[in-house]
Amino acid sequence: MELIITADYDELSRAAADIIAGCVRERPDCVLGLAAGATPVGTYRELVRLRQQGKVDFCRVRTFNLDEYYPIEPDHPQSYHRFMWEHLFSGINVRRENVHLPRGTAPDPGEECRRYEAAIEDSGGIDLLLLGVGANGHIGFNEPGTRLDSTTHLVQLARETVAANARFFDRPEDVPRLAITMGIKTIMRSRRLLLLASGASKGAVLATALEGPVTPGVPASVVQLHPFLTVIADRAAASGLQTEGRQPVRLGGGGAAPPIGTRCAADAGRSAGLTRGRRGRADPGAWLQVHLPVLDGPHVDTDVWFGTPCLTKARLVGST
């Protein structure tokens, strides 16, 4: 795991956009997994700025969003289809046919889940997946209690998730109670994960997710197991992390983030016999097949199955 602590939300957004843009430059036909919600808005704004400055080209990029409400029309003001076009897609040169989101109007949600999962697989898999973390520990719309081996599925939204999203709708009763989301296994098959957290309200859940046990009760805790994980948190969100005693590398604001993939990830891959993916690169999905059995219990003992969480690098971005 690489942890980047930024001075504020704007620094977080620039750092995240630099990492995503770097992935696109490295592989122009890469597959990006994207998230909706308040946290990535600044990141998308920065990506649009980079595109307008001619610093990144999205014409060959393919995208898959984490989730979508169900049922909901794509042109509904609060659909994630509309959100993505308003905040990102309309400002970059991504091709419409390369944009993928779950269909909130699909007549058979089960079939839609299978179709979406197959489309991700057919694309060659997600190269970099952008994540946020919910106040109750959800990633995507994988609510507490979701099986760690889940693929794309229809989910009943938790009451706290509905309450948190009510501010975006005219009336609380207008918030959909269901959603289609990538499953935890789908998320963990991504080659790289980029998790963002901003604000003091995310402090407790971020600490629990990164430093507590891996458990279905906190779905975000599973990211500890990914061999290529970068977490970017502003100081408020990072306030609960036990970073004392570590020696962070201090960087000036606005610098590009280093490549994702650290000594811990490389060592984990070698010890597990990490295989190569379709594109000739290390495939975290293969690592998970070795280390992540089918888990359906209420708790996973990290000391037994996975060892303790591994932070190999921490750094601060911006001024004190």
| Site of tokens 């957004």 | 13
Task: Indicate which residue of 136, 149, 211, 291 is catalytic.
Answer: 136
User: Which helix (H) or strand (E) element contains residue 68?
Assistant: strand 67-70
| Site of tokens 């975006």 | 168
Please return the burial class of 15, using the count of CB atoms within 10 Å of its CB with bins 0-12, 13-18 and 19+: buried
**Active-site residue 76, yes or no?**
no
Task: Indicate which residue of 2, 11, 127, 143 is catalytic.
Answer: 143
Cα 293 from Cα 295, distance rounded (Å): 6
Contact 248, 5 (CB under 8 A): yes
**Active-site residue 142, yes or no?**
no
Task: Indicate which residue of 76, 81, 87, 138 is catalytic.
Answer: 138
How many alpha carbons fall within 13 Å on the CB side of residue 194? 27
The contacts of residue 149 (CB under 8 Å, 6+ apart) are 183, 184, 185, 292, 294, 295, 296
Rg (CA), the chain: 18
Task: Indicate which residue of 2, 18, 67, 127 is catalytic.
Answer: 67
**Pick from 47, 125, 129, 131: nearest CA to 89:** 47
Look up residue 315 and give its two tokens.
Answer: 């750094």
Contact 24, 118 (CB under 8 A): no
Torsion of CA 82, 83, 85, 91, to 10 degrees: 150
Contact 284, 297 (CB under 8 A): no
Q: What distance lies between CA 53 and its chain's CA centroid?
A: 26
**Active-site residue 165, yes or no?**
no
**Active-site residue 136, yes or no?**
yes
Active-site positions?
67, 136, 138, 143
